[in-house]
């Protein structure tokens, strides 16, 4: 679990990064973030858990785009070709840019390990919440909306009570080293 041991602590600032999107255009965190922050979400074109979450992710992204929080999708899976990722993104219809992390360099830097896995950053790129989107993969019996609750607390100027929550998901498929 070496990759999981690294990472960024809640409260620490994420460095600005630059990655190509699925069209090949370079994008940066500072260029994509909203006035009230951003969410870096690790995705996969193949992972069934991500597929189960895609509709929810798009809904949350749409709800909070209007409140100044933007989503940035990242695909770090070495097993997924660009064509596969592009075709899946077209089917899903992500409402936000999807960036390619070739060689999983960015995932390694953050210690990201799961899909889906989110990093919610404030306007200064400080990490406010890290981990799962909610507490039910199936979406049928969600009793804790971790990410939405973190957004709402932050936007209301309140303390985020739960800043970290893990959930079972797919492994980011890393390149062999």
Give yes or no for residue 48 binding other proteins (CB under 8 A). yes
The whole-angstrom separation of Cα 163 and Cα 127 is 9
The whole-angstrom separation of Cα 10 and Cα 164 is 8
Residue closer to other proteins by CB (options 20, 111) is: 111
Give yes or no for residue 166 binding other proteins (CB under 8 A). yes
Give yes or no for residue 135 binding other proteins (CB under 8 A). yes
Tokens of 48: 């069934």
Task: Give the neighbor-by-neighbor strand order of the sheet with 117-121.
Answer: 98-100, 69-75, 37-43, 117-121, 127-131, 164-165
Give yes or no for residue 126 binding other proteins (CB under 8 A). no
Give yes or no for residue 81 binding other proteins (CB under 8 A). no
- Out of 32, 65, 160, 167, name the contact with other proteins by CB under 8 A: 167
Contacts of 4 (CB under 8 A, 6+ apart): 111, 113
DSSP state of 126: B
The whole-angstrom separation of Cα 158 and Cα 11 is 15
- Out of 132, 133, 147, 150, name the contact with other proteins by CB under 8 A: 132
Buried b / exposed e across 127-165, counting CB within 10 Å, b at 16+?
bbbbbbbbebbeeeeeeebbbbebbebbeeeeebeebeb
Residue closer to other proteins by CB (options 32, 160) is: 160
Please count the residues of this chain forming the interface with other proteins, following the rule CB under 8 A: 28
Least distance in angstroms from the C-beta of 130 to other proteins: 10
Least distance in angstroms from the C-beta of 4 to other proteins: 5
Report 3-42 residues binding other proteins (CB under 8 A): 3-5
Kindly list the residues in this chain that would bind other proteins in the complex (CB under 8 A): 1, 3-5, 46, 48-49, 113-114, 117, 131-132, 135-138, 141, 143-144, 164-172
């Amino acid at each position: 679990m070496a990759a999981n041991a690294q990472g960024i602590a809640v409260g620490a600032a994420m460095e600005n990064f630059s990655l190509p999107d699925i069209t090949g255009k370079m994008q940066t965190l500072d260029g994509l973030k909203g006035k009230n922050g951003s969410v870096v979400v690790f995705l996969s074109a193949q992972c069934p858990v991500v597929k189960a979450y895609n509709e929810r992710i798009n809904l949350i992204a749409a709800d909070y785009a209007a409140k100044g929080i933007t989503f940035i999708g990242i695909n770090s899976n070495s097993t997924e070709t660009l064509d596969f990722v592009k075709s899946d993104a077209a089917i899903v219809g992500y409402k936000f840019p999807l960036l390619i992390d070739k060689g999983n360099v960015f995932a390694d830097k953050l210690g990201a390990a799961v899909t889906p896995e989110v990093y919610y950053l404030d306007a200064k790129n400080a990490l406010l919440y890290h981990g799962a989107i909610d507490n039910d993969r199936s979406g049928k019996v969600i009793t804790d909306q971790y990410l939405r609750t973190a957004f709402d607390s932050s936007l209301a100027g309140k303390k985020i009570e739960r800043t970290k929550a893990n959930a079972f998901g797919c492994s980011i498929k890393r390149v062999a080293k």
